[in-house]
Amino acid sequence: MLNKYARAFFTRVLTPFAAFLIRRGVSPDTVTLIGTAGVVAGALVFYPMGEFFWGTVVITLFVFSDLVDGNMARQLGRSSRWGAFLDSTLDRVADGAIFGGFALWYAGGGNDNVLCAVSIFCLASGQVVSYTKARGESIGLPVAVNGLVERAERLVVSLVAAGFAGLHKFGVPGIQYLLPIALWIVAVGSLVTLIQRVVTVRRESAEAEAAAAGQGARGSEAAK
């Protein structure tokens, strides 16, 4: 849902900014690299210190680069396999940094091994969820399922919760519990999404093999 509606909305909003960068001679790849560097820095500098509010502010400023670079490429008419590969690869780096930052906090100052493990599970499951779709498509299957919690949902739920949880340092009581709740939601949702994609790939694979066997049988029959 977020991929369909929120992405379309922010793409329209950010189009003038993308056009401005193009006029300044900035390339889409540069925006991708700077955006990823900003997200990684925000996550690995602020989150391990428990500075969730400021870390989320920094990350949010840079995370929109994921929409800006694609917008720029479309305006330039230069969408390429390399650009898509770079964007997808660095998305995984950024996601890993965010959940890695949470894990470092709970392994250190947060002093909660269970939430550290949940954060690591969110990191790993998010990577595997993306891999299942990429691997399924690479063997010729459509992987026609969105899943319960995709990248957009993982980021929005986690970052919004982290940002609000950070308000605890400004004196807002009880709000720090939003982040643990969000991490559990993302962990369970990612597991459900992974199962959905594995089941879909299994079904599509069986259908493809059955169709291929049927064509082979018809070809043999026609040759007689």
Among candidates 116, 82, 89, 112, which has minimal Cα distance to 35? 89
Is 80 annotated among the ligand-binding residues? yes
Is 130 annotated among the ligand-binding residues? no
Is 87 annotated among the ligand-binding residues? yes
Is 27 annotated among the ligand-binding residues? no
Is 83 annotated among the ligand-binding residues? no
- CB of 46 closer than 8 Å to CB of 52: yes
Is 65 annotated among the ligand-binding residues? no
CB atoms within 10 A of CB 78: 11
The question of whether 112 is a catalytic residue gets the answer no
Distinct helix (H) and strand (E) counts, the chain: 8, 0
Is 112 annotated among the ligand-binding residues? no
40, 43, 91, 168: the active-site residue: 91
- CB of 105 closer than 8 Å to CB of 47: yes
Is 23 annotated among the ligand-binding residues? no
- CB of 127 closer than 8 Å to CB of 96: yes
DSSP string, 175-223: GGGHHHHHHHHHHHHHHHHHHHHHHHHHHHHHHHHHHHHHHHHHHHHHH
The pair of three-digit structure tokens given for residue 32, joined into one six-digit string: 């991708």
Is 205 annotated among the ligand-binding residues? no
Please state, in angstroms and rounded to a whole number, the distance separating the CA atoms of residues 51 and 17.
29
> Which residues define the annotated binding site?
29-32, 66, 69-70, 74, 80, 87, 91
As annotated, the active-site residues are 91
Q: Which residues are annotated as a binding site for a CDP-1,2-diacyl-sn-glycerol?
A: 29-32, 70, 74, 80
